[in-house]
Amino acid sequence: MSSAELNIVQSCHTSDRNSHHSEKTKQNLQARLNRIEGQIRGIKGMVEKDAYCDDVLNQIAAVQSALNSVGRILLEGHMKSCVIERIQEGDNTVIDELLTTMNKLMK
C-alpha cells in the first residue's frame, strides 16, 4: 500500500488527528484496497483488449461495491471513535463534517 493510501486509512479528516483502527482492521482494509487495486488493473486490461462492454461494466460495479464496503468500514470506525471523541471534547463542527462526508459517499 502506498503512503498516500495509508494516510487515508489513518486520517480522521485533518492532518493532526489519527484514527483508532486496530491492526486487524488496518490489515483488513489494506487487503481490500489491494484487491480493489488488482480489480482496477484488470478492468484496464479488459479495456485494452476490447472486452465486451457488459463484462467491463460488471467489473466496474464490483469495484464500486468493494469501495463502498471499505467506505462503510471506515465510516463506522470514524463514527464510533473520532466523531464521539470530538463531540465529547465539545467540538460539534464534526457533525457538519460528517454530514458532508456522508453526502459524498452517497453520491
Q: How many helices (H) and strands (E) does the chain have?
A: 5, 2
Q: How many domains does the structure of the chain reveal? A: 1
Q: What is the CATH number of the domain that holds 35?
A: 1.20.58.1000
**What pLDDT was estimated at residue 18?**
73
pLDDT tens-digit profile of 38-97? 999 999 999 999 999 999 999 999 999 999 999 999 999 999 999 999 999 999 999 999
Domain of 72 in residue numbering reads as 3-105
The whole-model pTM stands at: 0.78
| Lowest-pLDDT choice from 6-10, 13-17, 41-45 | 6-10
Alpha-carbon distance of 33 to 39, in angstroms, equals 10
